[in-house]
Amino acid sequence: MVEKRLGALPVAAEFLRRLDVAGVVDGLCPGGASAHLTHGQVIEAMVANRLTSPAPLVRVGDWARTWAVEEVFGIEPALLNDDRLARALDAVAPHLEKIAGTVGARAIAEFGIDVSRLHWDVTSMSVHGAYPVGDQDEQYPVIGYGHPKDRRVDLKQVQAGLAVSADGGIPVHARVFGGGTAEVSQVVGAMRDLSAMAGEQEFLMVADSKLVSYANVAALLAAEVEFIAPVPAAQVKDEVYAALDLEQARVVDWVPERDAGRPPGEREVYRVLEDVHTLTGPRKRDPVLTVRRILVHSTGNAKGQQAARAKRLAKAQEELDKLAGAAGGRHYRTREKIAARVGVIAARRRVVSCLRWHITEDETGAPSLQWRFDQEVLDAEAAIDGWYALLAGMPADKADPAQVLVQYKGQGAVERRYADFKGPLAVAPVFVQHNHRVAALIQVICLALLVFCLIERQVRRALGPEQTMVGLYPDNRRVRPTGRMILYHLGELTLRIGTITDRPIVQINRGVQLHLLELLGTEVTQTRWPQT
């Protein structure tokens, strides 16, 4: 009697079949290096590995031996060695954008995903290895230094962009970029990809402030693609916010999900106003662009900024009082040393604008420090707390200011997907030879993320309007199932393989596992068992 881990392999196999991942890959990359295994089969196995027990390429074969990969996917574990996986990555590398677009379009059609609103953002992944520029293929994203989100400035990086649907948070399109590529330059390419995927259907592109440049906005307006993005702070002067009348702003009838269970008086309140924002081009002959600007006030943001300011001021006060007490002593005998230390404190605590100070000397020449915070400056800073601005590249009859804000707030969906990308699917750290293989591996993990999110969406939709269930946590509280929790519970499924005359037995030892399989519509006995 042999026992193997079954986990979510049957679920992954069913979703991969519906997406036709193997068919898409084999159609673009025919003639696998091994007659026993096509490139499409290898890519599907790599996706399944990421969904069940992410492993380095050299350990995927070991995973296949202990998991029921042969029984579910019909693949002999010995064929999934690191050399065969690398050849599959080499084969798909020239077709990454085509694979992403085709599979994404298949997902939209097969699962009925609404792509009328898509949220775009970019994240970075640190890469271990030297990757000299001269040794990299310039036809693929070049691994290099940039501005890593994980703050590992000692490592080179590669970047991935995701377009996530508002419907279920599904990453319907992904694109890999070089480590040094500026985010602001990636928007137009993403817009073209999404336009091709949407076809005749109009869609709204929601992104972060990197979208707001003259070139990007001009391209979006010319393509008639509607968009929403926050205006970079440097493009709106404080005087604009200071002149706004909060009483004239309209209260938005919307409650953030995190505040849904709180009393009304404790919920975050949003207010909106509208004016216009202009962008000028780098050349004098460039036409001035005028776009709707939605000015948003958030009580939550205001409270956060007030608390942060109070903390900065308290820290600065403590350090300045200590310095004033030490002035003229052993460590601060001269005016220059005191002034240098004041500069350090002011910069570190970010109080340069409001700090007023001077140094005097007594009759013996001993220096002393007097300082204060300028209350007028602090009042001016407080007056703009909570305000920020959004650009809305759409007519007012399609979305009023309140609707623009609510649509923008869905941007959190893409951030949550990046957490899944780097968490359960273990995208980082990446260590693969050659930059084209790195790009291919990132795209494979994007496919795994697509399946991961589709699994979550299907379970939630099957649960009905409330989208909650019990059994996921020991205390049986009712919660919305996440992809992470779904795969965690299914991960405990095992397959007991008997003799040649006995069919394999799937061991389901908890009711929540059976419930999840029913919600997913997956019949675990429909795997490719050896037939008797």
Higher pLDDT, 348 or 528: 348
Q: Is pLDDT above 90 for 143?
A: no
Please give the pLDDT value at position 487: 94
- CA neighbours within 13 Å on the CB side: how many for 380? 11
Please give the pLDDT value at position 33: 53
Q: Is pLDDT above 70 for 430?
A: no
Q: Is pLDDT above 70 for 359?
A: yes
Q: Is pLDDT above 90 for 419?
A: no
Model confidence pLDDT, tens digit, residues 246-259: 999 999 999 888 88
C-alpha distance across the termini of the chain, in Å: 16
Q: Which amino acid is at 149?
A: K
Please give the pLDDT value at position 426: 64
Higher pLDDT, 135 or 25: 25
Please give the pLDDT value at position 304: 96
Pairing of strands 204-206, 117-127: parallel
Q: Is pLDDT above 70 for 489?
A: yes
Q: Name the least confident of 196-200, 400-404, 427-431, 447-451.
A: 427-431
| Dihedral, CA of residue 203, residue 206, residue 207 and residue 209, to nearest 10 | 120
Please give the pLDDT value at position 525: 61
- Residues 247-267 as b/e (b if ≥16 CB within 10 A, e otherwise) read eebeebeeeeeeeeeeeeeeb
Give 526's pLDDT tier (boundaries 50, 70, 90).
Answer: very low
Please give the pLDDT value at position 509: 82
Model confidence pLDDT, tens digit, residues 300-352: 999 999 999 999 999 999 999 999 999 999 889 999 999 999 999 999 999 99
What is the DSSP annotation of 421-447? HHTTT---SB--SSHHHHHHHHHHHHH
Q: Is pLDDT above 80 for 199?
A: no
Model confidence pLDDT, tens digit, residues 230-278: 999 999 999 999 999 999 999 999 988 888 888 988 999 999 999 999 9
Q: What is the distance between the alpha carbons of residues 386 and 408, in angstroms, rounded to a whole number?
A: 16
Model confidence pLDDT, tens digit, residues 168-194: 999 999 888 888 777 666 788 888 888
Give the relative orientation of helices 39-52 and 21-28 as an angle to the nearest 10 degrees: 140
Q: Is pLDDT above 50 for 531?
A: no
- 271 membership: H or E segment, kind and range: strand 270-279
Is the sign of the CA dihedral 312, 314, 315, 318 positive or negative? positive
Average pLDDT of span 15-34: 88
Higher pLDDT, 196 or 479: 479
Model confidence pLDDT, tens digit, residues 56-68: 888 999 999 999 9
Q: Is pLDDT above 50 for 527?
A: no
Model confidence pLDDT, tens digit, residues 280-301: 999 999 999 999 999 999 999 9
Q: Going by C-beta distance under 8 Å and a sequence separation of 6 or more, which residues neighbour residue 362?
A: 368
8 A C-beta contact, residue 77 and residue 4? no
Q: Which of 442, 462, 460 is nearest to 450 (CA)?
A: 442
Q: Which of 267, 231, 236, 245 is nearest to 383 (CA)?
A: 245
Give 532's pLDDT tier (boundaries 50, 70, 90).
Answer: very low
What mean pLDDT, rounded, does the chain reach? 89
User: What percent of the chain stands above pLDDT 90?
Assistant: 61
Q: What does the DSSP 8-state code read for residue 237?
A: -
8 A C-beta contact, residue 349 and residue 312? yes
Q: Is pLDDT above 90 for 35?
A: no
Give 432's pLDDT tier (boundaries 50, 70, 90).
Answer: low
Please give the pLDDT value at position 529: 41
Model confidence pLDDT, tens digit, residues 434-464: 889 889 999 999 999 999 999 999 999 999 9
Residue 112: CB atoms within 10 A of its CB come to 9
